């Protein structure tokens, strides 16, 4: 899976107008970005922590504007994030102005593309009646089109009564109809431009810019910025990291290399809202026993739960290879299993090339090379399993119960991911790991790979998959798994004080 999962962000509720996440899909898909930043093992604080939103920096230029908007129900979001960098549609802008002016009534508009949303219809009707807008044509308003900075400047100028102002200083305002609005906004201090010489009239307006324009239009009334916030771990772009999760993964990569200079690691994290984070997440790694839950899911789907019951506990909890071979057979054999993984589970880079059952080595007729997966695929599997996307409810519940029955504390390899998690995350997590010794074509050192689904509380969770290859220090690789999962938990749960270290951990020398 490249890019991101289908966005499970839900809807942004903007001034009563539902701005569905599909509108900002390109911004809300964060992709797999390696944010390799050296530093200490301390969790980075969220970028924002004010005005009730976790992505609004108390020192940011728009913090007071957001607080004013919250106090007056002008621009809101029904998520812990405000999404300051998300683009605003023409419909969003209309409703925000309407809310700001206390939602005056007006005769129904003439536009055919506005629909039946009461807030949007009321806002557009008022704007048309007040001659704030003439639409994009006689019969269309284009509510879903992105609003530009120039368009909103014109709206505010018309709302103010089209006052005259000295000529602006900006060199990029070309259209004649924009000069008066931009000149007035600059004279009133509503805009300072994107630079001393540019206003960027054709640039899509962001939520932060919109709320700032409105706040300044109203004379910047006094507000008391609320320093409290909910956690906000949604990424608005590949360059934004409100909760510091990408930076934390980068630090964990540096720690792994500090502990073992030959090691190569990969990680993938999927949050409950669908946000995806990763480092080397699409790099092929040995699948080992980490994919046995995939085999169990395929066997349940193909043969039924009753047929799987005699073998799954041994294959998943005790990691018995003969029982795992029975699951492969119940799924229809290696080729059928690979097809199920790809077509049903959506695991694009996971396949089994062969499996030894007793003295018999069975091989795939289609998959060549070595059996492999990626941390991206493993994290996706756990996220989709937890959400019941490819098995019936009772079947998913049973498979998850088996994965909760795996070792909770470190014993050999098993338990490495959840070992350092606090309760109730430790006992509630689903997990399965695998290990391959040096050789075998995959790694000159030890290879570890595993996945987990970790509950965080209040219905939130994250799926995580980790791999470590070419490691010359087996015990350090195992320790790193526990440390990495624990540090991700601390960031996502907003619990930076949780101690993830152990007294016998190797020293960390990376950082400033």
pLDDT in tens, 220-229: 999 988 876 6
CA dihedral 2, 446, 313, 370 (to 10 degrees): 50
Count of other CB atoms within 10 angstroms of residue 88: 27
CA distances from 19 to 53, 135, 156, 244 (A): 18, 19, 22, 26
Q: What residues does each domain of the chain span?
A: 11-17+48-217, 245-492
Whether 452 contacts 431, CB under 8 Å = yes
Mean pLDDT, rounded, for 339-366: 81
Instruction: Name the token pair of 19.
Output: 């701005």
Q: Is the pLDDT of residue 412 over 80?
A: no
What confidence score (pLDDT) does residue 2 get? Answer: 23
E strands, 110-181, are none
Which residues pair with residue 206 across a beta bridge?
87
Interval 431-444: pLDDT, tens: 999 988 876 555 56
Sign of CA dihedral 393, 395, 399, 402: positive
- What angle is formed at CA 59 by the lines to CA 58 and CA 65, rounded to 5 degrees? 70
Give the fold, CATH level 3, of 245-492.
Answer: Beta-lactamase (3.40.710)
Q: What is the pLDDT of residues 54-75, one digit of tens each?
A: 778 777 889 999 999 999 999 8
* Residue 331 token pair: 């799924």
CA distance linking residue 417 with residue 262, whole number of Å: 21
Kindly report the pTM of this predicted structure. 0.60
Q: What confidence score (pLDDT) does residue 486 get?
A: 95
DSSP lists the bridge partners of residue 468 as 265, 448
From 71-75, 222-226, 364-368, 422-426, the region with the lowest mean pLDDT: 364-368
d(CA 246, CA 135): 42
* Average pLDDT of the residues of the chain: 82
Helix (H) or strand (E) holding 28: helix 25-28
Six-digit token string for 256:
């792994």
pLDDT of 28 > 50? The answer is: no
Cα distance between residue 255 and residue 247, in whole Å: 12
In the DSSP assignment, the letter for residue 500 is -
**pLDDT tier for residue 287 given thresholds of 50, 70 and 90:** confident
Tokens (6 digits) for 396: 């998913």
User: Is there a contact between 468 and 14 (Cβ–Cβ < 8 Å)?
Assistant: no
Confidence (pLDDT) at 187:
95
Average pLDDT over residues 169-181: 93
């Amino acid at each position: 899976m490249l890019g991101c999962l289908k966005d499970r962000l839900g809807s942004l509720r903007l001034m009563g107008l539902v701005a569905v996440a599909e509108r900002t899909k390109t911004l809300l898909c964060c992709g797999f970005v390696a944010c390799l930043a050296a530093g200490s093992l301390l969790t980075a604080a969220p970028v924002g922590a004010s005005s009730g939103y976790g992505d609004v920096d108390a020192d940011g230029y728009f913090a007071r504007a957001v607080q004013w908007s919250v106090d007056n129900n002008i621009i809101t979001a029904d998520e812990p994030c405000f999404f300051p960098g998300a683009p605003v549609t023409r419909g969003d802008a209309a409703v925000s102005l309407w809310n700001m002016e206390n939602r005056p009534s007006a005769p129904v508009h003439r536009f055919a593309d506005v629909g039946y949303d009461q807030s949007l219809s009321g806002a557009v009707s008022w704007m048309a009646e007040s001659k704030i807008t003439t639409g994009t044509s006689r019969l269309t308003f284009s509510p879903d089109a992105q609003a530009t900075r120039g368009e909103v400047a014109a709206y505010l100028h018309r709302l103010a009564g089209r006052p005259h102002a000295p000529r602006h200083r900006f060199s990029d305002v070309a259209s004649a109809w924009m000069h008066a609005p931009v000149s007035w906004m600059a004279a009133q201090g509503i805009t300072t431009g994107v630079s001393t010489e540019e206003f960027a009239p054709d640039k899509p307006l962001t939520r932060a810019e919109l709320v700032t324009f409105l706040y300044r239009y109203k004379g910047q009334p006094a507000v008391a910025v609320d320093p409290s916030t909910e956690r906000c771990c949604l990424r608005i772009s590949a360059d934004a990291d409100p909760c510091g999760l990408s930076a934390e993964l980068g630090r964990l990569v540096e720690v792994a290399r500090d502990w073992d200079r030959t090691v190569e690691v990969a990680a993938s994290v999927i949050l409950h809202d669908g946000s995806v984070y990763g480092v080397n997440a699409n790099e092929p790694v040995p699948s080992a026993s980490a994919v046995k839950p995939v085999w169990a899911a395929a066997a349940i789907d193909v043969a039924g739960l009753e047929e799987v019951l005699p073998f799954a506990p041994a294959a998943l909890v005790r990691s018995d290879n003969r029982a795992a071979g029975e699951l492969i057979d119940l799924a229809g054999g290696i080729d059928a299993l690979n097809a199920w993984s790809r077509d049903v589970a959506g695991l694009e880079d996971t396949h089994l090339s062969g499996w030894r059952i007793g003295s018999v080595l069975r091989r795939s007729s289609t998959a060549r090379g070595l059996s492999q997966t990626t941390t991206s695929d493993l994290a996706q599997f756990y996220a989709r399993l937890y959400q019941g996307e490819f098995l019936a409810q009772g079947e998913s519940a049973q498979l998850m119960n088996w994965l909760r029955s795996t070792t909770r504390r470190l014993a050999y390899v098993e338990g490495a991911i959840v070992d350092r998690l606090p309760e109730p995350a430790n006992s509630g997590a689903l997990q399965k790991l695998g290990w391959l010794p040096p050789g075998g074509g995959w790694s000159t050192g030890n290879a570890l790979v595993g996945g987990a689904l970790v509950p965080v509380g209040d219905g939130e969770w994250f799926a995580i998959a980790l791999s470590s290859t070419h490691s010359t220090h087996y015990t350090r690789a195992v320790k790193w798994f526990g440390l990495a999962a624990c540090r991700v938990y601390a960031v996502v749960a907003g619990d930076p004080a949780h101690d993830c270290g152990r007294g016998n951990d190797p020293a960390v020398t990376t950082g400033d």
